[in-house]
Chains A and B, each alone.
Chain A
Amino acid sequence: MAIPNGSSTSHEDIDAEIDFSDIEEKYRVDFDDGFDSVIVVDDVPIIDQSKLDRLLQKIAKDFSRKGAPIKPEDIFVPWDDAADKSKGYVFIDLRTPDAAAFAVAAMHGHQFDSRRQFKVNRFMDIEHYANMDETYIEPQTEEYQPKEHLRAFLTDPQGRDQYVTYRGDDVDIHWHGKPSQCEIAYSKKGWTDLYVSWSPLGTYIATLFRQGVRLFGGPSWEPQQRFAHPLVKLIDFSPCEQYLVTWSHDPISVPPNLPQGPEYFSPEDEGNNIAVWDIKSGHLLRTFPTSTLDGEDPTAKKQMQWPALKWSADDKFTARVTAGQHISVYELPSMGLHNKKSLKIEGVVDFEWCPHGEKDRDEADKASAAGKTKKARENMLAYWTPEVANQPARVTLVNFPSRTVLRQKNLFNVTDCKLYWQNQGDFLCVKVDRHTKTKKSIFCNLEIFRVREKDYPVEVVELKDTVTDFSWEPKGERFAIVSSNDPNLGNPGPGITIKTDISFFQLDRAKNDFKLLHTLTSRTSNTIRWSPRGRHVVLATVGSSSKSELEFWDLDFGTEDRREGQVVKEEWGSGIQQLGSADHYGVTDVEWDPSGRYLATSASAWRHTLENGYAIWDFRGQEVEKHLLDRFKQFIWRPRPRTLLTKEQQRQIRRNLREYSRAFDEEDAAEESNVSAELIAHRKRLVDEWNAWRAHCKKDIAEEKRNRGQRINGEHHEEEKEEIEEWIDEVIEQIEEEVVE
Chain B
Amino acid sequence: MRPILLQGHERSLTQIKFNAEGDLLFSCSKDHVINVWFSHNGERLGTYDGHNGTVWTIDVDSQSKYLVSGSADNTLRLWAVSTGKCLFTWEFPTAVKRVAFSDDDEQVVCITEQRMGHQGAIRVFKINGDGDGTNQSEDPLYMFHPIGSKATVCAFSYTPNVIITGHESGKVALFDVSTGNEILNNERAHMDVVTDLQLSADASYFLTSSKDKTARLHDTKTLKVLKTFSTETPLNSAALSPNRPYVLLGGGQEAMQVTTTSLRQGKFETRFWHKVFEEEVGRVKGHFGPINTIAVHPAGTSYASGGEDGFVRVHHFDDTYFRAKPYGDMEIED
Contact = CB atoms under 8 A, between A and B. Distances in A.
Contacts, number: 46
Interface stretch (A182-190, A269-277, A281-289, A698-706): A698-706
Contact of B330 (A687, A700, A704): A687
Given A628-B232, A697-B205, A704-B159, 14 more contacts: A683-B276, A684-B330, A686-B276, A687-B331, A690-B333, A691-B331, A691-B332, A694-B333, A695-B333, A697-B202, A697-B221, A698-B204, A701-B202, A701-B204
Contacts of B204: 694, 697-698, 700-701
B282 interface: no
Interface residues of B, number: 22
Nearest to B160: A708
B320 interface: no
Interface of A: 545, 585, 610-611, 628, 680, 683-684, 686-687, 690-691, 693-695, 697-698, 700-701, 704, 708
Nearest to A686: B276
Contacts of B276: 683, 686-687, 690
Interface string B320-334: 000000011011111
B332 A687 contact: yes
A697 B159 CA distance: 13
Query: Closest 7 A-B residue pairs measured CB to CB?
Result: A694-B333, A697-B204, A691-B333, A690-B276, A687-B330, A686-B276, A687-B332
A680 B328 contact: yes
B38 interface: no
Interface in B234-291: 262, 264-265, 276-277
B227 to A, nearest CB: 9
Nearest to A684: B330
B158 interface: yes
A202 B277 CA distance: 40
B106 to A, nearest CB: 12
**Interface-central residue, B158, B219, B333, by most chain A CB under 10 Å:** B333
B114 to A, nearest CB: 33
Interface string B197-231: 00000101100000000000001010000100000
Contacts of A610: 262, 265
B264 A585 contact: yes
A698 B200 CA distance: 12
A684 B158 CA distance: 29
B158 A701 contact: yes
A528 to B, nearest CB: 26
A700 B160 contact: no
A695 B158 CA distance: 16
8 contacts: A545-B262, A610-B262, A686-B277, A687-B276, A690-B276, A697-B202, A697-B205, A701-B202
Contacts of A704: 158-159
B242 to A, nearest CB: 13
B202 A698 contact: yes
Nearest to B204: A697
B81 to A, nearest CB: 27
Contacts of A686: 276-277
B87 to A, nearest CB: 27
A697 B331 CA distance: 17
B332 A690 contact: yes
A704 B162 CA distance: 13
Contact of A683 (B158, B264, B327): B327
A211 B205 CA distance: 57
B201 to A, nearest CB: 11
B265 A683 contact: no
A471 B265 CA distance: 33
A627 to B, nearest CB: 11
A369 B160 CA distance: 93
Contacts of A700: 204, 221
A690 B219 CA distance: 12
Contacts of A687: 276, 330-332
Contacts of B327: 683
Contacts of B226: 693
A708 B103 CA distance: 14
A691 B331 CA distance: 8
A295 to B, nearest CB: 48
A625 to B, nearest CB: 15
Contacts of B262: 545, 610
A185 to B, nearest CB: 26
Nearest to A630: B232
A701 B160 CA distance: 12
Contacts of A701: 158, 202, 204
Nearest to B202: A701
A700 B204 CA distance: 9
A587 to B, nearest CB: 13
A683 B159 contact: no
A700 B160 CA distance: 15
A132 to B, nearest CB: 66
Contacts of B158: 701, 704
A694 B333 CA distance: 7
A584 to B, nearest CB: 12
A697 B219 CA distance: 9
A667 to B, nearest CB: 25
B333 A683 contact: no
A549 to B, nearest CB: 14
A317 B171 CA distance: 68
A611 B202 contact: no
Contacts of B205: 697
Interface in B283-334: 327-328, 330-334
Contacts of B232: 628
A409 B188 CA distance: 75
Q: Which of B205, B232, B262, B330 has the most CB of A within 10 A?
A: B330
A683 B277 contact: yes
A694 to B, nearest CB: 4
A513 B39 CA distance: 69
A545 B277 CA distance: 35
A277 to B, nearest CB: 43
Contacts of A694: 204, 333-334
Contacts of B160: 708
A603 to B, nearest CB: 12
A691 B226 CA distance: 13
A680 B327 CA distance: 9
B124 to A, nearest CB: 18
B148 to A, nearest CB: 28
B252 to A, nearest CB: 14
Contacts of A683: 276-277, 327-328, 330
Contacts of B331: 687, 691
Contacts of B328: 680, 683
A688 to B, nearest CB: 10
B251 to A, nearest CB: 16
Nearest to B265: A610
Contacts of A611: 265
B212 to A, nearest CB: 15
Most buried by B among A684, A687, A700, A704: A687
A582 to B, nearest CB: 15
Chain B CB within 10 Å, residue with most, of A611, A628, A683, A695: A683
A623 to B, nearest CB: 14
Nearest to B264: A585
A687 B330 CA distance: 8
B193 to A, nearest CB: 21
Contacts of B159: 704
A549 B328 CA distance: 34
Contacts of A585: 264
Nearest to A546: B262
Contacts of A698: 202, 204
A700 B205 CA distance: 12
Nearest to B261: A610
Contacts of A695: 333
B2 to A, nearest CB: 24
A687 B158 CA distance: 24
B213 to A, nearest CB: 12
A680 B334 CA distance: 20
For A683, A697, A701, which residue has the most chain B Cβ atoms within 10 angstroms?
A697
